[in-house]
Amino acid sequence: MKRINPYKEINEALSSLDNGGRFYNILAKSNDGIITQSELGKIGGVFNDKQKVILFLEMSMISLKDEEKQEILSKLDEELKQTYLKYKPQNLLPSKANENGVIASNAILTGVPKLIDNKSDFNGFIMVPIMAGKVMSFIMIPMIDNYDVYELRDEKTSETFIIAHSRGSEKLPSEKIIIAGLLKELKSEKDENSEAVKFLEVNYYISN
């Protein structure tokens, strides 16, 4: 999980994003008017994860005007434009995320997180892969064993939505923040056939 400081000025954004990529990206050139995945990956600290690259881009542009965002998007190379269309995140209210969110899609939410630090207060389970020889199988484990889990409160309705990030990351601040990540499935019980709800695995956040 990473905190993002979004761009405030279009010129700052273009200069930062059109950076030539890492030293081994010989086809990318800085300040050539074309933004590639390798250039986004360099500034976002992302390696070979197209979905996460688009999430970083969207969060980094969140403070810009619509026409400024469109100017940046117009400079994406053709492959990256298609990737953007495929992985463009949903903007959801916490109160609507479980109903309207799409599993395995990027999403951006705004709200106030409250850490759930007592296992007795949360009993959700997630499915994780394990390898047995050459065969991959899945087991159900308590989500709170692997994640810091929060309730994200919708300021308008006071309804909440479950969000989480890997243990070991810095805790989210208890204030209104913007978060972005991947929507995943959470089981209410250890049984694979139990009722499922959604949660957001947080990759990025913006705070004041």
- Rounded-to-integer distance, Cα 155 and Cα 166, Å: 25
Q: What is the mean pLDDT of residues 183-202?
A: 80
Give the other-Cβ count within 10 Å of 16's Cβ.
Answer: 13
pLDDT, tens only, 119-150: 666 777 777 777 777 777 777 777 888 889 99
Of 35, 56, 88, the last residue of a domain is: 88
Domain membership of residue 44 as a residue range: 2-88
pLDDT, tens only, 145-155: 888 999 999 88
pLDDT, tens only, 24-33: 444 556 667 8
- Rounded-to-integer distance, Cα 1 and Cα 12, Å: 23
Domain shared by 34 and 103, yes or no: no
φ, ψ of residue 11 to 5 degrees: the values are -65, -40
- The pLDDT assigned to 143 comes to 84
Domain count, the chain: 2
Measured over all CA atoms, what is the biggest interatomic distance in the chain, rounded to whole angstroms? 55
Alpha helices per DSSP H over 88-200: 94-100, 143-146
- The pLDDT assigned to 25 comes to 47
Q: Which helix (H) or strand (E) holds 19?
A: none
Of 88, 116, 149, the last residue of a domain is: 88
- Rounded-to-integer distance, Cα 62 and Cα 185, Å: 26
Q: What is the mean pLDDT of residues 60-79?
A: 96
- Rounded-to-integer distance, Cα 170 and Cα 68, Å: 32
Domain shared by 33 and 96, yes or no: no
